[in-house]
Chains A and B, each alone.
Chain A
């Protein structure tokens, strides 16, 4: 088999139109041209590689894997372009490693080291430095700014849950509102709170409640439907007030602000990348630390005690959550951030045993009003 190829020696820009011949016995490709040193070159078939992702289908560009003993680089700089269709098909058949990508020795170790260092730097930032900075900044941030930020978080949440406009999901039945205010007043009259609380109810079936920075707390209608006594609601509310007072939400928001940029950087800008970033940030954000949860529980129990309400309601609520976990799939957030509900219910029960006489937080009529807070007035 004879053909012509264009040869570049990788040393000069000179192009040589070399004669090609495959020697099947010696398993080499011979390149012949009067200007080549000694008149010809022999390329071992198993050392020939083709350039990948080559756009032109009418040619292949061949290169030669360097003999490790002679050359430090893996691929020699000489290039051979072949356009003869028969020669291309013969070479494709006879060269065993035509499409192989040669990787230098020690590459694996190099990659592992750099991945390790980069991961350590990012981990250090996300899990140590940013939280530490967030802790400091959370205590320094002016309250007005916290309140303003908290309000935007609540608005965003409302839109996320399907509210068409700001206040679109808010439940405003005056009787229910009065009951909620009474509950709040009873919980907070004993202690001195740093924040003015702004507690609202969203008309949404999710069994949940959340706190946002600056004293913003939102209860979902689903939680009111699910609870059996007003004391359970009061206990959850007290728990969220605990988060507000400990500035857990502000701390989380600060952390998220720092880590969002980092995650976007790591994941890069590919199609739908921002969706992954949001999801990752959300997971990072939705979980308070276990200590923060425990502290909020203790805060809630003490608040119930100070208000003369039955602290066991927190335990009852955890029990019902536990049941919910098994029956309903649509509750990932609240449960994922509250992992050990049985333990925490146990702690609440132990606490309740030490309590003296308690009175319900709301009477039956007020409780009914609170449960109907999302219905129009007069019903």
Chain B
């Protein structure tokens, strides 16, 4: 057994795409009930594709327990959301109405924020619980990962850091990133070995450099634009406009750079059981390349497909309005199939390659110590992510 381990990812596009299409189709025909099993099966695939030292990870979650957890969450959310929605409607803050005036538009934006704020603590709570659930259902070499209970503490801290972040215009973002990750990492275990997040939050500022450059370009070009427009008219305005555009692109790339930088830094400064250390060498360029190429291919493909479907429905408009049921069903089926394919493509062309990149660039040092780690007792409280499922947090997988 080697003392240094490098991660390897074995997933294949075709197999995962077929699994996604199959499970999504089952989800569709069961009016959504199969989605818990679908998500579980995708996770099983991705976990088992990742391996260290030749040993695959294992995801032991089941669709059934997710379904049961969802049923509990829904009882609480049903009451909560039903009442909130109707109250909002009553106060004229309806989300489903076209705004007629500026006042209404503002009220609508306000309503969206109120709805979001009303569920934000629940979403943060769900976020922690979802990670805890995933940890409790992950194994490597038969040893369970785990996470201590602490979802409300996380939700409270996250709210606090977000408020701080907004008040300082994002200047304290590294503090929020670091402290929240530390809160979760310090409560994480592999078997009987505990993780510890070391490092300093100030170190993350180095990763913010491109964000600051992008912001700087935007601010400076705004000033220049104002001055130039007053002095030289159209020519100055065009240059200023281009500069702002460059600034925005720089900022977006800078944000991606920061996320990758923070992931690498935080991974490098994690210690397991006081002995085992890690190194992550993800590259922003590679991640962006995967993301941009994938997005372009998918959007071009989907643009063509939806264009064709749209064209068909417009030419058959009369037949559709007359209630030609088979045709209606046919077009609805085409539309849903296109959606399924788009989802599957984004999984195998963006999500999976980025995971693959992360796994392949992860190194574990002093890995011999892993042999001495013992199994931990099962986390009884880490039940399925009912709230996370109901509120759809957690994104792709």
Q: Is residue B290 within 8 Å, beta carbon to beta carbon, of the partner chain?
A: no
Within the complex, what minimum Cβ distance (angstroms) separates A9 from chain B?
A: 7
Q: Chain A interface mostly helix, strand, loop or mixed?
A: helix
**Given A254-B90, A259-B82, A268-B35: A151 in contact with B96 (beta carbons within 8 A):** no
Q: How far is the CA of A47 from the CA of B274 in the complex (A)?
A: 39
Which residues of the other chain, B, contact A103 by a CB distance below 8 angstroms? 64
Which of B71, B96, B97 touches A114 (beta carbons < 8 Å)?
Answer: B71
Which residues of the other chain, A, contact B321 by a CB distance below 8 angstroms? 161-162, 330
Q: Is residue A185 within 8 Å, beta carbon to beta carbon, of the partner chain?
A: no
Q: Chain B interface mostly helix, strand, loop or mixed?
A: helix
Q: B296-310 CB contact bits vs A (8 Å, 1 = yes)? A: 000000000000000
Which residues of the other chain, A, contact B32 by a CB distance below 8 angstroms? 266-268, 270, 273, 276
Chain B residues numbered 6-57 whose CB sits less than 8 Å from any CB in chain A: 10-12, 15-16, 19, 24, 27-28, 31-32, 35, 41, 44-46, 48-49, 51, 54-56
Q: Is the CB–CB distance between B390 and A265 below 8 Å? A: yes
- Binding stretch for chain B, among A128-136, A192-200, A298-306, A371-379: A128-136
Within the complex, what minimum Cβ distance (angstroms) separates A126 from chain B?
A: 8
Q: Is the CB–CB distance between A52 and B41 below 8 Å? A: yes
Which residues of the other chain, A, contact B143 by a CB distance below 8 angstroms? 8, 10, 12-13
Q: Is residue B327 within 8 Å, beta carbon to beta carbon, of the partner chain?
A: no
Q: Is the CB–CB distance between B54 and A6 below 8 Å? A: yes
Which residues of the other chain, A, contact B12 by a CB distance below 8 angstroms? 55
Q: How far is the CA of A53 from the CA of B49 in the complex (A)?
A: 10
Q: Is the CB–CB distance between B141 and A258 below 8 Å? A: no
Which residues of the other chain, A, contact B54 by a CB distance below 8 angstroms? 6
Q: Is the CB–CB distance between B322 and A330 below 8 Å? A: yes
Interface-central residue, A15, A156, A257, by most chain B CB under 10 Å = A257
Chain A residues numbered 281-336 whose CB sits less than 8 Å from any CB in chain B: 329-330, 332
Q: B149-182 CB contact bits vs A (8 Å, 1 = yes)? A: 0000000000000000000000000000000000
Q: Is the CB–CB distance between A262 and B81 below 8 Å? A: yes
Q: Is the CB–CB distance between B339 and A61 below 8 Å? A: no
Q: Is residue A152 within 8 Å, beta carbon to beta carbon, of the partner chain?
A: yes
Q: Is the CB–CB distance between B323 and A330 below 8 Å? A: yes
Q: Is residue A354 within 8 Å, beta carbon to beta carbon, of the partner chain?
A: no
Q: Is the CB–CB distance between A148 and B100 below 8 Å? A: yes
Q: How far is the CA of A122 from the CA of B72 in the complex (A)?
A: 12
**Given A55-B11, A272-B335: A130 in contact with B68 (beta carbons within 8 A):** no
Which residues of the other chain, A, contact B142 by a CB distance below 8 angstroms? 8-10, 13, 77-79
Interface-central residue, B28, B85, B100, B317, by most chain A CB under 10 Å = B85
Which residues of the other chain, A, contact B83 by a CB distance below 8 angstroms? 133, 258
By beta carbon, the residue of chain B nearest A258 is B86
Chain B residues numbered 363-396 whose CB sits less than 8 Å from any CB in chain A: 370-375, 389-390, 392
By beta carbon, the residue of chain A nearest B34 is A270
Which residues of the other chain, B, contact A79 by a CB distance below 8 angstroms? 58, 139, 141-142
Q: Is residue B231 within 8 Å, beta carbon to beta carbon, of the partner chain?
A: no
Q: How far is the CA of A52 from the CA of B47 in the complex (A)?
A: 12
Q: Is residue A26 within 8 Å, beta carbon to beta carbon, of the partner chain?
A: no
Q: How far is the CA of A82 from the CA of B373 in the complex (A)?
A: 23
Q: Is the CB–CB distance between B64 and A262 below 8 Å? A: no
Q: A350-362 CB contact bits vs B (8 Å, 1 = yes)? A: 0000000000000
13 A/B residue pairs, CB under 8 Å, sorted by A:
A8-B55, A12-B374, A13-B141, A54-B45, A111-B68, A118-B78, A121-B74, A122-B78, A254-B90, A258-B85, A268-B389, A270-B35, A271-B339
9 pairs of A and B residues whose beta carbons are closest in the complex: A55-B49, A8-B142, A330-B323, A271-B339, A257-B89, A258-B86, A272-B336, A53-B44, A114-B71
A residues in contact (CB < 8 Å) with B: 6, 8-15, 51-57, 59, 61, 77-79, 81, 103, 107, 110-111, 114-115, 117-118, 121-122, 125-126, 129-130, 133-134, 137, 140-141, 145, 148-149, 151-152, 155-156, 161-162, 253-254, 257-262, 265-273, 275-276, 329-330, 332
Q: A53-B48, A57-B15, A262-B78 are in contact. List 16 more A-B contacts (CB 8 A).
A: A11-B375, A13-B141, A54-B56, A77-B375, A114-B68, A114-B71, A118-B72, A125-B78, A162-B317, A257-B86, A268-B392, A270-B24, A271-B28, A273-B32, A275-B335, A275-B336
